[in-house]
Amino acid sequence: MKISESSVDDTRPRVRMRPKTDARRIRFGYPWCYANEIVTDRRTKALTPGSLVILEDENRNPLGLAAVNPISKIFARLIDLDPAADVNQEWFAHRINKALSLRDQLFNEPYYRLVHAEADGLPGIVIDRFGDTLVIQPNAAWADQRIKMLTAAAVEVTGAECVVKNSSGRARNLEALDDVTTIVFGKLPPMPVKVPMNGAIYMADLMGGQKTGLYYDQRPNHRFVQDLANGARVLDVFSHVGGFGLAALAGGAESLICVDSSEPSLELAAQAAEAMGVKEIFNIRHGDAFSVLSTLNDERELFDLVVCDPPAFAPARQSLDAGLRAYERIARLSATLVAENGILVLCSCSHAADLEKFRGASLRGIGRAGRKPVLIHTSFAGPDHPLLPQLAESGYLKALFFRL
């Protein structure tokens, strides 16, 4: 059965941009209209979160169809240039299909981010694919309300056998949405699922794990580390389920220590090492990364390859200074553990710390450790995380590869 939005007519509410606001930006592809850019009155305030409206410029020319949330700073998200578009299952299927065709071009196996929100024409919607299981994050009200239609469309396009709705996204809070993760289609396969990537095997827990179970965004950076890893002693700090470390082992690393404060994540990394047949050279240190790094320094340990991929220390502008100091500390504590001519990889997934600021903090830390770096490579998220060039905010991930 197809699920359809009640059919559209011209009674769709209209929301107009204020005089002197930049509607051209939206015409050129910027997908959001902020609360302070629209004419507010009783009618706009009364709009239900997630409802669809026709967004107009100051002269009442339609800009397109938008999904609104009057309680969010992002008042309207443009979802179709056609103000009369019928947002039904076919509409979702068309967008998901378009997203799928890019991933089909990029990957041989069905393990990737299938939909990356705005850049795939589905604002606020993230879908990660793990073979026959999809994990959907509806991070905006309009998507949350249409989860049935979205799920039906995703199943239609991919043939998935199970769909998990993951509600852990931080943005859901801003849209006043709950945090309950549920299975919305089919039956969950046995957990964890085995995910092949870069010749390694990862174990992903799609129900209890962080994010949607695995960090696909680091795939090309895992690969870059792998290509440098032959014969190396590797330290993977903030390892989660072993993203960098297991890739390094698949690339011929001599030994690996994974460091994380999450015991379940380290347990999944250990299971994966066993599945890869490299259990003997796999080790863990469970605990706070700052103190584990200090201990390793006290023990005068040295590694040929050290990776630090912490959680966002500066997720928002208010936390920028404290975040940059934390990045600097991580760089200082890890640089001293790198053997002469070894590699140090420093990552940041903070929106607020841009590349220049993050590189600056990293260089200060390395300098304070008394080491001389050269930058051999700078990288970002993989191509299954496309960017809308107009949305600088969506370019969060940075990875710096130094040789010391």
Residues of this chain that bind ligand SAH (CB under 6 A): 210, 215, 218, 238-240, 243-244, 260-262, 265, 288-289, 309-311
CB of 291 to ligand SAH, least distance (A): 8
| Burial of residue 251 (number of CB atoms within 10 Å: 0-12, 13-18, 19+) | buried
CB of 335 to ligand SAH, least distance (A): 18
Q: Please state, as a whole number, how many other Cβ atoms lie within 10 Å of the Cβ of residue 131.
A: 16
Nearer of residues 240 and 332 to ligand SAH, judged by Cβ: 240
Task: Tell me the three state secondary structure of residue 60.
Answer: coil
Closest CA to 129 of 159, 149, 87, 169: 159
Task: Tell me the three state secondary structure of residue 285.
Answer: strand
Nearer of residues 181 and 261 to ligand SAH, judged by Cβ: 261
Nearer of residues 176 and 316 to ligand SAH, judged by Cβ: 316
Nearer of residues 226 and 265 to ligand SAH, judged by Cβ: 265
Nearer of residues 218 and 255 to ligand SAH, judged by Cβ: 218
CB of 239 to ligand SAH, least distance (A): 6
Counting runs of H as helices and runs of E as strands, what totals does the chain give?
12, 19
CB of 95 to ligand SAH, least distance (A): 27
Strand-pairing partners, residue 80, are 65
Nearer of residues 258 and 366 to ligand SAH, judged by Cβ: 258
Nearer of residues 146 and 240 to ligand SAH, judged by Cβ: 240
CB of 182 to ligand SAH, least distance (A): 23
Q: Contact at 8 Å (CB) between 348 and 402?
A: no
Q: Look up tokens 């960017």; give the residue.
A: 387
CB burial of 71-99 (b: ≥16 within 10 Å; e: otherwise) equals ebebbbbbbbeebeeebbbebbbebbeeb
CB of 30 to ligand SAH, least distance (A): 30
Q: Contact at 8 Å (CB) between 192 and 108?
A: no
CB of 163 to ligand SAH, least distance (A): 23
- DSSP output for 142-182: HHHHTHHHHHHHHHHHH--SEEEE----THHHHTT-----E
Q: Contact at 8 Å (CB) between 345 and 234?
A: no
Nearer of residues 47 and 275 to ligand SAH, judged by Cβ: 275
Q: Look up tokens 């009640």; give the residue.
A: 6
Nearer of residues 185 and 224 to ligand SAH, judged by Cβ: 224
CB of 219 to ligand SAH, least distance (A): 9
Q: Distance between CA 354 and CA 177 in Å, rounded?
A: 29
Nearest 5°: CA angle at 181, between 180 and 187? Answer: 140
CB of 265 to ligand SAH, least distance (A): 5
CB of 261 to ligand SAH, least distance (A): 4
Nearer of residues 114 and 333 to ligand SAH, judged by Cβ: 333
The CA radius of gyration of the chain, in Å to the nearest whole number, is 23
Please measure the distance between the N-terminal and C-terminal CA atoms of the chain and give it in whole angstroms: 60
Bond into 192 cis (ω within 30): yes
What token pair was written down for 368?
Answer: 């304070």
Name the residue with the smallest CB distance to ligand SAH.
243
